[in-house]
Amino acid sequence: MTVASLCDVVVTTGSFPLLSGVNLTLENGKAYVITGPNGAGKTTLLRLLAGLEVPSRGSGTVLGLNICSAERRELRRHVGWLGHETSFYPDLSSTENLLFAARTTGADGDFIPSALERVGLGHRAQVPLKSLSAGQQRRVSLAWLLVRRPQLWLLDEPYASLDEEGRDLISQLITVAQSSGATVVLTSHGALPAETNASSIVMVGGRIVENAS
């Protein structure tokens, strides 16, 4: 099943093109890694798939929703986003943050304890977020993805700020997501761990120059 389809999509800021004529098809249950130099458009492409960017030209659908119309706002309910910064409250604990997020989105809060255990934060579940390291805070965001169980995972440099154990965890969670039928799209500057089974998409200058999907 096709999860996302982009046709000649252009995204600009002012007159500067961030994406130029992007064509892409993503299939259900697969993982994709987008690589390329800084400024290649990797994060912009993820934001487009999340409904956070509006195409200047072209057409596309993600999870059956038209990204060129107001329908794209609905994507945020079905997409899991892991960026470089969290939107959690620093004075609240991991548990409190996830409970608040679950209540505001309708997610099942019963999964929170097991999700925190899964990412190795069960013993730190009641510690204020501001007392956690950058890598641990990133794990809280990963726990939120496990609670939400989105159809589409969008991970911007997910291996950043993580030690070897954390990197192994990311690879395991990608496998878990795929086995549940979710699609995973991640960006990376470097090589992925060997166990990460992902199709390669290479971007340069806002264009996809290689697609091995």
Domain ends where: 129, 149, 169? 149
Domain of 193, CATH number, reads 3.40.50.300
- Overall average pLDDT of the 184-200 stretch: 79
User: What are the residue ranges of helices labelled H in the chain?
Assistant: 42-49, 94-105, 112-118, 134-148, 164-179
pLDDT tens figures, 36-61 = 998 999 999 999 999 999 999 999 99
- pLDDT, averaged across the chain: 91
Distance CA(113)–CA(132), nearest Å, equals: 17
Average pLDDT of span 130-145: 92
Q: Which among 98, 123, 149 is the end of a domain?
A: 149
Q: Which domain holds residue 111?
A: 90-149
85 found inside a domain = no
Residues in a beta bridge with 11: 19
Q: Last residue of a domain, which of 105, 131, 149?
A: 149
> Residue 57 is encoded by which pair of tokens?
């030209």
**How far are the Cα atoms of 4, 71, 113 from residue 63, in angstroms, in the given order?**
6, 11, 29
Task: Kindly state whether residues 112 and 97 are assigned to the same domain.
Answer: yes
